Amino acid sequence: MKKEEMNFQKSDEFSRTMIPGSFARKMRTCVIWQFIRFVAINIKMLVVVSKSH
């Protein structure tokens, strides 16, 4: 069994939701990808902040 699929069997509630696979988890802490996301999220947040003032 793949490690990321282990938790599905731990409860009925867990089995009815989605759990990220190894690639999605890796990307969450991949410095290069996260730097790109850092820039993108900041731009999105600045737009919302500017619309709110």
Total residues interacting with another protein, rule: CB under 8 A? 32
CB atoms within 10 A of CB 21: 12
Q: Is 43 in the site for another protein (CB under 8 A)?
A: no
Interaction between residue 5 and another protein (CB under 8 A): no
Nearest to 8 by CA among 16, 26, 25, 22: 16
Please tell me whether residue 2 adopts helix, strand or coil conformation. Answer: coil
Binding residues vs another protein (CB under 8 A): 4, 7-8, 10-11, 13-14, 16-20, 25, 27-31, 34-35, 37-38, 41-42, 44-45, 47-49, 51-53
